[in-house]
Structure 1
Amino acid sequence: MGGATESHTGWTFITNHARVLAVIAENQNARVRDIAAHCRLTERAVQKIISDLEQSGYLSHKREGRGNTYEIEEGAILRHPAEAGLTVASLLALLAHVEREGGPR
């Protein structure tokens, strides 16, 4: 997984939780180290985010050998009242579209 090389400071529109979920959606067998590098987070931060997502029912994992295979609950409803009725699948579709198209024009 190649991450971007330029650094960033300040706020962004996409949360770290959404970024981690999007990376896992691309590769259900991604290692925490690879997710962290892609999202520019520490491994500890990624572990905490994965734990948050699992505790909230958005993600589960199965241990396979030395790694994990993640499963995203795509039908889970987003938490914030402003996104009432929107699912994880709709969020991931939007993120995949933006990445596939190279960002908005």
Structure 2
Amino acid sequence: MPDDGTRAWTFLSNHGHVLVALSRDPAARIRDIADTVGITERTAQGILRDLEDAGYVSKDKVGRRNLYRLHVDLHLRHPAETETSVRELLAVFD
């Protein structure tokens, strides 16, 4: 992010960044997801809860860790992108 006082923005929301992080490491800890995205652990937990509630992500307990599964055949939520699946979005980052 720029340090020159200009307003910083990105093309993806933090929700999108979390999806990308999980696609790269489905066994990531919340701490790792937060660090990767540049958000707090509490924010990462909230985003994960949003994604789970909407059906984009589910998690399985494996020992003391979570293993996240992305439901990539679901479509994006914004009316301008409803024809695009999560799979198609994530393919950009492969």
Instruction: Provide the TM-score with structure 2 as the length reference.
Output: 0.90
Over aligned residue pairs, what C-alpha RMSD do you find?
A: 1.2
Which aligned runs of 4 or more in structure 1 are off by greater than 6 angstroms? none
Percent identical: 42
Distance across 1 between alignment mates of 2:9 and 2:35: 19
Q: Match for residue 14 of structure 1?
A: 12
Instruction: Give the number of equivalent residue pairs.
Output: 90
Give the 3-state SS of the residue equivalent to 1:86 in structure 2.
coil
Distance across 1 between alignment mates of 2:79 and 2:25: 29
Q: Match for residue 80 of structure 1?
A: 78
Q: Match for residue 47 of structure 2?
A: 49
1:15 corresponds to which letter in structure 2?
S
Gaps of 5+ in 1: 1-6, 98-105
Distance across 2 between alignment mates of 1:65 and 1:75: 28
Give the 3-state SS of the residue equivalent to 2:72 in structure 1.
coil
Aligned-pair CA distance for 1:15: 0.7
Instruction: Provide the TM-score with structure 1 as the length reference.
Output: 0.81
CA deviation string 1:63-91 (max 9, x = no partner): 11111000000100110110022100011
Distance across 1 between alignment mates of 2:82 and 2:16: 16
